[in-house]
Structure 1
């Protein structure tokens, strides 16, 4: 193990490598961060048309299905070369509708598209269970200031403040597991996608899902999912490239922004200027991680009341590199342990999902200008066959205190790996790391409960190499 300290003083508290590090803070100018252009590029359409679903017979009464009218309007709009399909104020109950090339759905203010709640409201294939679905389409979008609502409460079998028990259609043989519910909106193998100025509410399962898409722009919109409902993710980005998310408000029970790689790599994702609240991870890479993640930027984001702030859960052999988290304000707290997460502001892990899974790697991570108030510390964990390397923390402030009554002292490796493991809490918990640089980092401990933690740094010496600490502070305060 090689450790390089650039400090004025080091005080060793015990033989278990417990350190209190004191140094005068030096000013440091953060590096300039280049954001990609957020200009939406779409092919200009000659003479785009506007069609109202009411002209095709939609009642908008929220009782009778308007599926046929909506789909007919979409089909005719696409066949005419593209344009907008308008939903005037009203409530439009529908089965799955298929968005076609060149069509933008304009759900106007005081208009709501309601997803059906019966299994027969959705296609036979579980992979196509969405209220709105675009497949192999170009130049498509959703806007208008209105709402698309999945009626998620209708899928609750039993309400529970810890975690709701949800409907599962696996008893029919249509699917397996306990997550057999429809998603809200899906874009599958699409190009030039734009979603803006729309409210996505109460998904029964995932809310906005991108699958193998290219050139997607999501901005100035909101997502709301019940805080006690599992699996109602905000935005899931699967195997998709060149994605921009900006000026979004996401308030939901499960992961808020979740890149995944099931069948291909994920490149060039930027998420900026957004507000997130979730009972799970605010930003989570994985856990589906069979292919590469590269070139991701998360900047100017506020995270509140979450169970985990910034998370990487690499479980399936894919490699992660060149990821930047910058200008992020985080508040994390404990919830019931049935939810993954233990209040970590930052959580970076790579380990095999099971005995047959490959082990991926994580390298070249930058955390710059991060402020956090949390009930637990940072957790960085590689594995024996796939470690973490070249991780840098620059200009970071961590404030640790306890305000809930949930038990601490647990490390959460889920899914797979080791599950929940007893381990003393610390400011930084580290294992299987090659190359960690910490510069201008402050840790503040508030209250007697947090002061009982063993140490600001907890690492397993045999698995940690090349650590550089520059201007690292740790101070305790009574409350």
Structure 2
């Protein structure tokens, strides 16, 4: 490997019997699975009917609008007691169409529903700008093997390899900046929703949006959005309960799976067996976070070529608890800093959005069987009024490697908070933390440089030592107390290779090692739980 490539490996090995680990994983999974989410069966008021949009006058030529014909077929299906509205092969250009209870859209293979690109194609209220919209509906779905396409590239004002400049329909002031564009598919205040075997492509804005829905099952489908288009999220789940996402392929510019809480809590979300690529965050809780998130499970997910892997971005006072991330493979890299994210494989933050916002708490997070290759480290950040507590890392393997030419050294608190801060990157950066396990009171630290072992010893990590002993921690009245750092040096008794650059004594060498783990404003009991091994290796100085 050339000197121009930097690789760092950080491994946590949790020493428990295999049977115990299996029990922990299984019981954690069962606790989330006990939310009684089942595959919804579409219920019809009578014997279901099948109606073709072609029988209601749709041409499928992709030039003339088929809106009236599509809506007529949906209305007829609903009036008959429910069933399927079929789109034969063709291209069906349409303004907003409204899906009704008991109706499933069957967009057949080689059929495409094309969203209109004119402001007049959408309702007056910006909150209802969707190509396909179901409101206050039950037993609704979309399937068929075909495509719904929002023609997102038609909304680009200027193409830019960093980030496209987009059209803004902000004439009414209903939304801000270039976020005034239509979404693709929306379900609002709906129950028993099912979306499967369909391709949702090129959204102009958010792709699939659930708002205050209950019992939703999204499976065996794909989402594709232009990689340079901002705000073209994959799946946004707002204030919704009992949601399952499984066997999905999501490849988009902005956040891929994004739970939010605007007007109510979000409970019991399970996302499994999926593949994600995004220029933003693959999984992101927030940033809209006024209410509680609880009981979420993300399992068996592959994240590739993304700007951020697993993210919690709490900004509005909502509390987050009982979240599990398990069996996840992550690759994160740097992109242009105009996109939120700094290649963090794991990113957990809570801080007020602005001076009018309150601060939420984050607790009881479990990260188990996580493997990541990334250009940056893990970032865990609470705030003075919103701490992180009880974060557990079991069998986590993080490998750091630089392969893009973007600058590092920036810490991303956006939105709000401190914004982008010029600060050195770290393998594991933490601040305002109450408790993290299994990072333990007693740890084994191994540091190597160019294959040479530098530090190998048992270390008791103290807050004051990691703060370079700037506070009086032993009560002797010395505000610039140096004793704890010295005690740390004596306790560790490391076997130190003498040629660490810039290190003239054992303490400097040990501090060099500990600085690879960046901890600020953390309580003294940050490290709790059983012993673990903490390993760093490097082919180049940080």
Distance in 2 between the 1:25 and 1:266 partners? 31
SS in 2 for 1:229: coil
Answer yes or no: is 1:102 the counterpart of 2:162.
no
Distance change in 2, residues 1:446/1:77 (3 Å): farther
Root-mean-square deviation (CA, aligned residues, Å) is 2.4
TM-score by length of structure 2 reads 0.81
Distance in 1 between the 2:82 and 2:238 partners? 27
Does structure 2 retain, via aligned residues, the 8 Å contact 1:254–1:281?
yes
Distance in 2 between the 1:465 and 1:213 partners? 41
Distance in 2 between the 1:77 and 1:23 partners? 56
Q: Corresponding residue for 1:456?
A: 516
Does structure 2 retain, via aligned residues, the 8 Å contact 1:370–1:395?
yes
Deviations 1:125-155 (A, max 9, x none): 0000000000000000000000000000000
Q: Corresponding residue for 1:13?
A: none
Q: Corresponding residue for 2:262?
A: 262
Q: Corresponding residue for 1:44?
A: 43
TM-score by length of structure 1 reads 0.91
Q: Corresponding residue for 1:163?
A: 163
Does structure 1 retain, via aligned residues, the 8 Å contact 2:10–2:398?
no
Answer yes or no: is 1:336 the counterpart of 2:397.
no
Larger strand share, 1 or 2: 1
Q: Corresponding residue for 2:65?
A: 65
> Which of residues 494, 505, 525 in structure 2 aligns to 1:465?
525
Distance change in 2, residues 1:22/1:314 (3 Å): closer
SS in 2 for 1:407: coil
User: Residue 439 of structure 1: CA displacement?
Assistant: 5.8
Distance in 1 between the 2:294 and 2:517 partners? 29
User: Residue 173 of structure 1: CA displacement?
Assistant: 4.8
Runs of 5+ unmatched residues, structure 2? 1-8, 452-499, 502-511
Distance in 2 between the 1:108 and 1:466 partners? 55
Distance in 2 between the 1:443 and 1:159 partners? 47
Larger helix share, 1 or 2: 2
Does structure 1 retain, via aligned residues, the 8 Å contact 2:149–2:184?
yes
Distance change in 2, residues 1:446/1:210 (3 Å): farther
Does structure 2 retain, via aligned residues, the 8 Å contact 1:308–1:332?
yes
Answer yes or no: is 1:391 the counterpart of 2:391.
yes
Answer yes or no: is 1:120 the counterpart of 2:120.
yes
SS in 2 for 1:178: helix
Deviations 1:176-228 (A, max 9, x none): 43210000000000000000000000000000000000000000000000000
Distance in 1 between the 2:79 and 2:11 partners? 69
Q: Corresponding residue for 2:326?
A: 326
User: After superposition, where does 1:296-445 map in structure 2 within 5 Å?
Assistant: 296-438=296-438
SS in 2 for 1:415: coil
Distance in 2 between the 1:59 and 1:160 partners? 36
User: After superposition, where does 1:76-95 map in structure 2 within 5 Å?
Assistant: 76-95=76-95
Runs of 5+ unmatched residues, structure 1? 1-19
Distance in 1 between the 2:422 and 2:525 partners? 24
SS in 2 for 1:312: strand
Does structure 2 retain, via aligned residues, the 8 Å contact 1:399–1:445?
no
Distance change in 2, residues 1:313/1:212 (3 Å): same
Distance change in 2, residues 1:24/1:134 (3 Å): closer
User: Residue 49 of structure 1: CA displacement?
Assistant: 0.3
SS in 2 for 1:187: strand
Distance in 1 between the 2:448 and 2:407 partners? 18
Deviations 1:417-465 (A, max 9, x none): 00011222111100111111026999999989xx999733111155463
Distance in 2 between the 1:264 and 1:61 partners? 42
Does structure 2 retain, via aligned residues, the 8 Å contact 1:438–1:472?
no
Structure with larger Rg: 2
User: Residue 116 of structure 1: CA displacement?
Assistant: 0.1
User: Residue 260 of structure 1: CA displacement?
Assistant: 0.1
Q: Corresponding residue for 2:287?
A: 287
Distance in 1 between the 2:429 and 2:166 partners? 35
Range 419-428 or range 167-176, more displaced:
167-176
SS in 2 for 1:352: coil
Distance in 2 between the 1:447 and 1:392 partners? 31
4+ runs deviating over 2 angstroms: 20-31, 33-39, 41-46, 171-178, 438-448, 451-456, 461-466
Range 64-73 or range 451-460, more displaced:
451-460
Distance change in 2, residues 1:194/1:66 (3 Å): same
Q: Corresponding residue for 2:477?
A: none
Does structure 1 retain, via aligned residues, the 8 Å contact 2:201–2:223?
yes
Distance in 1 between the 2:174 and 2:536 partners? 56
Does structure 2 retain, via aligned residues, the 8 Å contact 1:71–1:97?
yes
Range 406-415 or range 171-180, more displaced:
171-180
SS in 2 for 1:127: helix
Q: Corresponding residue for 2:249?
A: 249
Distance in 2 between the 1:97 and 1:44 partners? 21
